Amino acid sequence: MFFGGKKSGVGLDIGTNSLKVVELSNISKKPTLVRYGIKELPPDVIVDNHIMDPLLLTETAQGILVESSITAKKINLGIQGKYVMVKKITTDLMNDNEYNHQVRFDAQNNFPFDFEDIDIMLDYHILGKNKQDKTMDVLLIAAQAGFIDQYVDPISEANIKINSVDINIFALHNIYEKTAGIPEDEFIIFAHTGADFLLLNFVVDGHPVICRDINAIGTYQIINDMIRKLGISEDEAKKIIKGETPPPPDQTVTVSQVYGELIEEITNNISKLEDTAIRNKADKIILSGGGVFIPRIKEVIEENLKRPVEIFNPFDYIQVPEEDRENLQKIGPVLTIAAGLALRG
Ligand SMILES: Nc1ncnc2c1ncn2[C@@H]1O[C@H](COP(=O)(O)OP(=O)(O)OP(=O)(O)O)[C@@H](O)[C@H]1O
Ligand SMILES: [Mg+2]
């Protein structure tokens, strides 16, 4: 393309709790928010990473585009979960053409998928070539085709055209890189906590080296625990986790213990991967997703890991319409992945 890339894009992030949509313009020069929306999914549409009610997903997707007045013809979709895997490997030095023949072999050796019987989609990015050792670092990506269809089919049914399907962790990586910037010489951990997923991306020298989508760690777990262990209503639990109501004073310790368990799970997952796979300590941890509103999450992770923790709001870096500024200052971190998907153009 001669004139500096595409101008606008729409990202649709399908989460267990809600759909998020973001439309950006001027993405190649100075990303600017055009429109955005969040729409809760009815309960049990997505359970344990499976779409149980595709029809309701279709209706919710149609609804969010209408309510947020998005008229763009095509959207970029994101996927996450256990049927999507990413791994950094080191392999023999070769050019793209040669590697196209080798990628399936490397994927079979590195991913626990049933390549014989299941249709697996593959992709890769060459991260760097080492001519002296005759090796290269490659980021391998594999996803079960049937799993991608679970997302693509209900969206297509909504008469929404899909421009691309990206991996949520990469959307998160891209939006941070293109807005805040990722320094070449730092080790940064991105931890995106949603309703039912913890996405972790360990970035060393600007490249993702470990990516994990961990199911059953998120706000849903603490909401359920609060209802079960503290006998409070679902509504009350949701408000506390959104940071809208302070925990009841007579129960402060108990309530913070409940969400303390989730924070501990997050820090344990980070520490375990640092110790086993990287053997190094990250310079900082960047949080995003609806989990950032859990009371004191930033401070507690900081105390546990003894490293700086930041909450990432992409709209601190993106030009936004005046009337949206106040709301986005609060809910921006929830829209991180949708914004990253929109950057795809
Ligand atoms: N508009 C909002 N204002 C405040 N908090 C919100 C808002 N929307 C969502 N949340 C909080 O975010 C949580 C869900 O996080 P998020 O939207 O990142 O999850 P998701 O993407 O739907 O799920 P998944 O984990 O499957 O990706 C909710 O449980 C709630 O606590
Ligand atoms: Mg999500």
Q: How far is the CA of 329 from the centre of ligand 1 (A)?
A: 15
Specify the DSSP class assigned to residue 52: S
Confidence of residue 253 (pLDDT cuts 50, 70, 90): low
Ligand 1 pocket check: which of 18, 77, 227 to mutate, most ligand atoms within 8 Å of Cβ? 18
Q: Are residues 248 and 189 in the same domain?
A: yes
Ligand 1 pocket check: which of 219, 235, 238, 313 to mutate, most ligand atoms within 8 Å of Cβ? 219
Q: What is the pLDDT of residue 336?
A: 98
18 lines ligand 1 (CB under 6 A): yes
* Cα–Cα distance measured from residue 15 to residue 19, given in angstroms and rounded to the nearest whole number: 6
Query: How much is the average pLDDT of 28-45?
Result: 96
Q: How far is the CA of 282 from the centre of ligand 1 (A)?
A: 26
* Cα–Cα distance measured from residue 241 to residue 34, given in angstroms and rounded to the nearest whole number: 29
Per-residue pLDDT tens digits for 51-80: 999 999 999 999 999 999 998 889 999 999
Q: Are residues 137 and 233 in the same domain?
A: no
Q: Are residues 222 and 278 in the same domain?
A: yes
Q: Are residues 149 and 128 in the same domain?
A: no
The domain in which residue 227 lies consists of: 183-311
Q: What is the pLDDT of residue 254?
A: 72
Query: How much is the average pLDDT of 248-264?
Result: 78
Q: What SS3 state is found at 248?
A: coil
Q: Are residues 272 and 335 in the same domain?
A: no
Indicate whether 4 pLDDT > 60. no
196 lines ligand 1 (CB under 6 A): yes
Q: What is the pLDDT of residue 252?
A: 65
How many separate domains does the chain show?
3
CATH number (domain holding residue 93):
3.30.1490.300
Question: Whose CA is closest to atom 8 on ligand 1?
Answer: 290
Q: Are residues 163 and 25 in the same domain?
A: yes
* Cα–Cα distance measured from residue 318 to residue 341, given in angstroms and rounded to the nearest whole number: 14
242 lines ligand 1 (CB under 6 A): yes
Cβ-Cβ contacts under 8 Å for 342 (sequence gap 6 or more): 9, 10, 11, 22, 23, 24, 27, 76
* Cα–Cα distance measured from residue 91 to residue 134, given in angstroms and rounded to the nearest whole number: 9
Q: Are residues 213 and 94 in the same domain?
A: no
* Cα–Cα distance measured from residue 152 to residue 335, given in angstroms and rounded to the nearest whole number: 20
Q: How far is the CA of 196 from the centre of ligand 1 (A)?
A: 9
Indicate whether 5 pLDDT > 60. no
Atom of ligand 1 lying closest to residue 289 CA = 18
Amino acid at 32: T
Q: Are residues 126 and 137 in the same domain?
A: yes
Q: How far is the CA of 129 from the centre of ligand 2 (A)?
A: 33
Indicate whether 225 pLDDT > 70. yes
305 lines ligand 1 (CB under 6 A): no
Q: What is the pLDDT of residue 174?
A: 97
* Cα–Cα distance measured from residue 24 to residue 44, given in angstroms and rounded to the nearest whole number: 30
Q: Are residues 34 and 173 in the same domain?
A: yes
Specify the DSSP class assigned to residue 74: E
Q: What is the pLDDT of residue 186?
A: 95
Say which ligand is closest to the CA of 195: 1
Compute the Cα dihedral for 151, 154, 157, 160 and give only its sign: negative
Q: CA-based Rg of the chain, rounded to a whole angstrom?
A: 20
Atom of ligand 1 lying closest to residue 80 CA = 27
Cβ atoms within 10 Å of 214's Cβ, excluding its own? 17
Q: Are residues 207 and 318 in the same domain?
A: no
Q: How far is the CA of 222 from the centre of ligand 1 (A)?
A: 13
CATH number (domain holding residue 338):
3.30.420.40
9 lines ligand 1 (CB under 6 A): no
Q: What proportion of the chain, given as a percentage, has pLDDT over 90?
A: 86
Q: Are residues 301 and 195 in the same domain?
A: yes
Per-residue pLDDT tens digits for 40-52: 999 999 999 999 9
241 lines ligand 1 (CB under 6 A): yes
Q: What is the pLDDT of residue 278?
A: 85
Query: How much is the average pLDDT of 146-155?
Result: 97
Query: How much is the average pLDDT of 169-186?
Result: 96
Q: What is the pLDDT of residue 71?
A: 83
Q: Are residues 11 and 120 in the same domain?
A: no
Indicate whether 299 pLDDT > 80. yes
Q: How far is the CA of 288 from the centre of ligand 1 (A)?
A: 10
Per-residue pLDDT tens digits for 269-287: 999 999 988 889 999 999 9
Query: How much is the average pLDDT of 185-207?
Result: 96
